[in-house]
């Protein structure tokens, strides 16, 4: 009888486990808190018995909730909460000044406002795991770190960890419209259900805040840079307030995009001229109103005089005039302005690469202290590969933030596996040589321009209502990597990928090794089948889904791919050396020299800076034409390799997520072929050269690829 009973229990348990293992959707992200087996618990954390928190403020509550959730998942039951140290096996959360830390001489000053330390120590004669910080947010970050260590199966009995963010503002920008359409979004609708706010706060907002806090993101802009002024009206501010209340315990401040013409649109003024006293008064009153509703409001993000958006140039005022007006309105409340440098104009015929630099460098030193200039990683627009933006290092008196795009507008949307950690690392590691060798983009970001100056980084979110948040399982890694790099711009993309794979898929090296390998090769695969050898924007019009290198009929020259690649019968590439537009002159001489010289420019940036004949010999001895074709095929081969690696993981990871990735890789393989065939058909129509031996001709004529239309591709701006 007893044996039969046990057998039934066993069957039930197996079912429950199998079900659970199959049911994973990706919703839990990297916070899965899967049970550790008994021997692992014994090895890493045999004595976790209780948690003592110094205080019961909302952020402490959030930390305790997370520890409860995490420890219940990992070790089977959440240790009791206690009000005092109770012998061995406690986790103790304490901020500076707590009596619990009396006499300990901890290096808290070095941790700043958001850092933390984890230490195995003795309090009241008992051995405990201490999380200490200067703020409750630091404790929350420390709690997430402890849980991460446990998830990674790192023993916690001799901890001595100290960490603090290197940048102050770690921002997630959502390009979400108020009707829930997400510009460049491939993960469903906007998370923000404005219509139900403020009455209903979807519990998912809390999960979103948890995920952000777990990687140190401390600022959120919920609405699109192509802004709608309605967000600044009283009813919407109540909705924003409700979101702010959810985010606040997680150390996250809310910011809003400010439409420059809002004084006209919602204020009834006749002008938005930043030097007009009535306009200035309007913004001041608006800032006062916002802070009355949301006392810890962060400030404004502004896209002005770019792609049709209103801005100070409409009134012949400078970007500094515009930014400073808003900065003055926010300053009494401690708010900041993130002013975007993504500025190019339909009235300017200069190489688009040069326009932001031309516009902003003369304004260095003219911005208020509470203004940051938000600069995209490259001078054009989030391409699969761009050289770093020449503004980095060129404005030593102005705080510059780096803006990266997490959502993959130009890298295959949700279905192409492309880990962007390596792409951002490449930019962050680039040496600007300003003011000196070794001044990488990361260093420019990390070094405040004055003792109290602001620092920061922004990422355009890839998050929506899809159950897996990011549109694909692997796109979660880009959200994760962004947070990690905003915390520490010197972190290594490979380490981040490894952590993510272990947390998100499995700690088993047989799973982690192939996944990390896939991630590390993935971005270069996309570059190879979309924009090899330094090609720029060659995507289809509007939605940017699929190839369109032949497009040349759009109203403005710089909207056309032909503007960027300049291919003709003789050759291909954009001459940005002194014989061309000399965009290179905007970089430090060391950089300009290296990239300007055909002998030293890396192949990966060749066509970005040079126009060369089809028969030009690369340093490898290969002709440009042959090498171009080979790159496309290498890209496809890499995707096939990723498919093989993934096939080998069947049964080693949960079935549902595994199948989703398998299917997405098949889509990627197909679309990589489309990119390759269409691009080669077009280049060949110009170069008139045969394909090198071993490379197949595109199966269809160029006209076939040119005729492909996908009008309903997601994410198009509107
Ligand atoms: C481009 C996008 C467009 C954005 C713009 C921006 O295509 O949707 O509005 O960037 O950053 O990449 O403002």
Ligand 1: which atom is nearest the Cα of residue 224?
Answer: 9
pLDDT at 46: 84
d(CA 248, CA 250): 5
| Ligand 1 contact via 545 beta carbon (within 6 Å) | no
* Domain range annotation of the chain: 23-163, 169-504, 528-574+611-706
Residue nearest to atom 11 of ligand 1 (CA): 342
Task: Give pLDDT tens digits for 285-328.
Answer: 999 999 999 999 999 999 999 999 999 999 999 999 999 999 99
- The single-letter DSSP state of residue 152 is T
Calculate how far, in angstroms, residue 409's C-alpha sits from the geometric centre of ligand 1: 9
The DSSP result for 154-168, as a single string, is: ---TT-EEEE--S-S
| Ligand 1 contact via 382 beta carbon (within 6 Å) | yes
| Ligand 1 contact via 381 beta carbon (within 6 Å) | yes
pLDDT at 268: 98
Calculate how far, in angstroms, residue 219's C-alpha sits from the geometric centre of ligand 1: 20
Calculate how far, in angstroms, residue 307's C-alpha sits from the geometric centre of ligand 1: 8
Q: Tell me the HSE value of 626 on the side-chain side, using a 13 A CA sphere.
A: 11
pLDDT at 15: 43
pLDDT at 420: 99
Ligand 1: which atom is nearest the Cα of residue 303?
Answer: 13
Cβ atoms < 10 Å from Cβ of 554: 14
The DSSP result for 164-187, as a single string, is: --S-SEEEEE--B-TTS-BTT--S
- The single-letter DSSP state of residue 610 is -
Calculate how far, in angstroms, residue 465's C-alpha sits from the geometric centre of ligand 1: 21
Return the best residue to mutate from 305, 307, 377 for the ligand 1 pocket (most ligand atoms within 8 A of CB).
307
Specify the DSSP element, H or E, that contains 457: strand 456-460
Residue nearest to atom 12 of ligand 1 (CA): 381
In terms of Cβ atoms closer than 10 Å to its own Cβ (0-12, 13-18, 19+), residue 86 is middle
What's the farthest any 2 CA atoms get from each other in the chain? 90
Chain centroid to CA 198? 28
CATH 3.20.20.80 corresponds to the domain 169-504: yes
Q: Please list, residue by residue across 164-189, b when 16 or more beta carbons sit within 10 angstroms of its beta carbon and e when fewer do.
A: bbbbbbbbbbbbbbbebbbbbbbbbb
Specify the DSSP element, H or E, that contains 459: strand 456-460
Paired sense of beta strands 571-572 and 456-460, if any: unpaired
pTM of the model: 0.96
What is the C-alpha radius of gyration for the chain, rounded to an integer number of angstroms? 27
Residue nearest to atom 10 of ligand 1 (CA): 381
pLDDT at 664: 98
pLDDT at 345: 84
Residue with tokens 């965009």: 583
Residue nearest to atom 8 of ligand 1 (CA): 717
Residues with pLDDT less than 70, the chain = 1-22, 718
CATH 1.10.1200.10 corresponds to the domain 528-574+611-706: no
**66 noted as active-site residue:** no
Give SS3 for 137.
helix
| Ligand 1 contact via 717 beta carbon (within 6 Å) | yes
3-state helix, strand, coil in the chain (%, to 5): 45, 10, 45
Residue nearest to atom 1 of ligand 1 (CA): 381
- Residue 50, both tokens: 């209780």
Ligand 1: which atom is nearest the Cα of residue 460?
Answer: 11
pLDDT at 4: 52
Fold of 23-163: Chitobiase; domain 2 (3.30.379)
Paired sense of beta strands 160-163 and 116-123, if any: antiparallel
Calculate how far, in angstroms, residue 220's C-alpha sits from the geometric centre of ligand 1: 18
Structural contact between residues 287 and 358, judged by C-beta atoms closer than 8 angstroms: no
**381 noted as active-site residue:** yes
| Ligand 1 contact via 344 beta carbon (within 6 Å) | no
| Ligand 1 contact via 225 beta carbon (within 6 Å) | yes
**307 noted as active-site residue:** yes
Of residues 381, 429, 640, 660, which has the active-site annotation? 381
d(CA 446, CA 333): 25
Structural contact between residues 451 and 224, judged by C-beta atoms closer than 8 angstroms: no
| Ligand 1 contact via 303 beta carbon (within 6 Å) | yes
Of residues 88, 157, 179, 307, which has the active-site annotation? 307
Q: Which residues contact 197 (CB under 8 A, 6 or more apart)?
A: 238, 239, 242, 243
Q: How far is CA 209 from CA 251, 297, 461, 612, in A?
A: 9, 16, 13, 49
Calculate how far, in angstroms, residue 381's C-alpha sits from the geometric centre of ligand 1: 8
Looking at the chain, how many residues does it have?
A: 718
Residue with tokens 């054009």: 380
The DSSP result for 239-304, as a single string, is: HHHHHHHHHGGGT-EE-EE--TTHHHHTT--S---TT-HHHHHHHHHHHHHHHHH-TT--EEEE--
């Amino acid at each position: 009888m007893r044996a039969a009973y046990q057998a039934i229990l066993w069957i039930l348990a197996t079912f429950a486990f199998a079900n659970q293992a199959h049911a994973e959707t990706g919703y839990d992200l990297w916070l899965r808190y899967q049970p550790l087996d008994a021997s692992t618990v014994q090895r890493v954390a045999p004595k976790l018995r209780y948690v003592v928190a110094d205080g019961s403020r909302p952020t402490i509550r959030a930390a305790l909730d997370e520890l409860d959730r995490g420890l219940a998942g990992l070790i089977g039951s959440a240790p009791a909460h206690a009000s005092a140290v109770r012998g061995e096996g406690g986790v103790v959360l304490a901020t500076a000044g707590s009596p619990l830390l009396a006499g300990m001489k901890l290096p808290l000053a070095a941790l700043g406002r958001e850092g933390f330390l984890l230490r195995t120590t003795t309090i009241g004669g008992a051995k405990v795991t201490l999380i200490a910080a200067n703020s409750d947010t630091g404790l929350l970050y420390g709690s997430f770190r402890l849980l991460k260590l446990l998830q990674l199966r790192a023993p916690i009995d001799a901890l001595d960890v100290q960490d603090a963010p290197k940048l102050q503002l770690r921002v997630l920008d959502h390009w979400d419209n108020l009707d829930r359409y997400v510009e460049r979004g491939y993960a469903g609708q906007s998370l923000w259900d404005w219509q139900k706010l403020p009455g209903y706060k979807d519990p998912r907002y809390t999960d979103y805040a948890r995920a952000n806090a777990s990687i140190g993101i401390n600022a959120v802009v919920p609405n699109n840079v192509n802004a709608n002024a309605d967000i600044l009206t009283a009813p919407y501010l109540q909705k924003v307030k409700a979101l702010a209340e959810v985010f606040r315990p997680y150390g996250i401040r809310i910011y809003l995009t400010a439409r420059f013409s809002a004084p006209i649109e919602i204020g009834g003024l006749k002008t938005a001229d930043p030097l007009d006293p009535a306009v200035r008064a309007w913004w001041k009153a608006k800032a006062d109103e916002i802070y009355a509703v949301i006392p810890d409001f962060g400030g404004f993000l502004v896209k002005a005089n770019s792609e049709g958006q209103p801005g100070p140039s409409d009134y012949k005022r400078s970007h500094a005039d515009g930014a400073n007006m808003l900065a003055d309105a926010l300053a009494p409340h401690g708010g900041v302005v993130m002013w975007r440098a993504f500025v190019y104009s339909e009235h300017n015929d200069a190489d688009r690469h040069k326009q932001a630099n031309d516009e902003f460098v003369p304004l260095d030193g003219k911005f208020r202290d509470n203004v940051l200039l938000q600069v995209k990683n490259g001078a054009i627009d989030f391409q699969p590969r761009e050289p770093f933006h020449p503004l980095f290092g060129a404005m030593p008196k102005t705080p510059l933030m780096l803006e990266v795009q997490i959502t993959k507008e130009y890298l295959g949307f949700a279905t192409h596996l492309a880990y962007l950690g390596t792409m951002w690392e490449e930019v962050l590691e680039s040496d600007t040589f300003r003011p000196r060798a070794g001044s990488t983009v990361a260093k420019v970001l990390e070094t405040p321009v004055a003792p109290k100056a602001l620092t920061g980084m922004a990422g355009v979110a890839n998050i929506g209502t899809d159950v897996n948040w990011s549109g694909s399982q692997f796109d979660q890694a880009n959200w994760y990597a962004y947070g990690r790099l905003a915390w520490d711009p010197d972190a290594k993309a490979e380490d981040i990928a490894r952590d993510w794979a272990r947390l998100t898929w499995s700690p088993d090296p047989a799973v982690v090794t192939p996944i990390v390998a896939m991630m590390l090769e993935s971005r270069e695969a996309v570059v190879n089948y979309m924009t090899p050898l330094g090609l720029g924007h060659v995507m289809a019009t509007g939605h940017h889904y699929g190839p369109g290198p032949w497009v040349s009929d759009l109203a403005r020259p710089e909207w056309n791919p032909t503007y960027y690649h300049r291919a003709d019968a003789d050759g291909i590439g954009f001459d940005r050396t002194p014989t061309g537009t000399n965009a290179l002159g905007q970089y430090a001489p060391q950089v300009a020299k290296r990239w300007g010289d055909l002998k030293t420019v890396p192949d990966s940036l060749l066509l970005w800076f040079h126009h060369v004949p089809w028969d030009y010999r690369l340093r490898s001895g290969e002709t440009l034409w042959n090498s171009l074709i080979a790159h496309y095929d290498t890209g496809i081969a890499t995707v096939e390799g990723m498919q093989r690696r993934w096939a080998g993981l069947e049964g080693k990871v949960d079935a549902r997520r595994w199948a989703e990735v398998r299917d997405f890789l098949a889509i990627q393989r197909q679309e990589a072929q489309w990119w390759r065939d269409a691009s080669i058909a077009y280049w060949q129509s110009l170069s008139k050269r045969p394909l090198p031996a071993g490379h197949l001709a595109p199966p269809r004529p160029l006209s076939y690829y040119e005729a492909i239309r996908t009008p309903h591709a997601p994410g198009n701006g509107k």
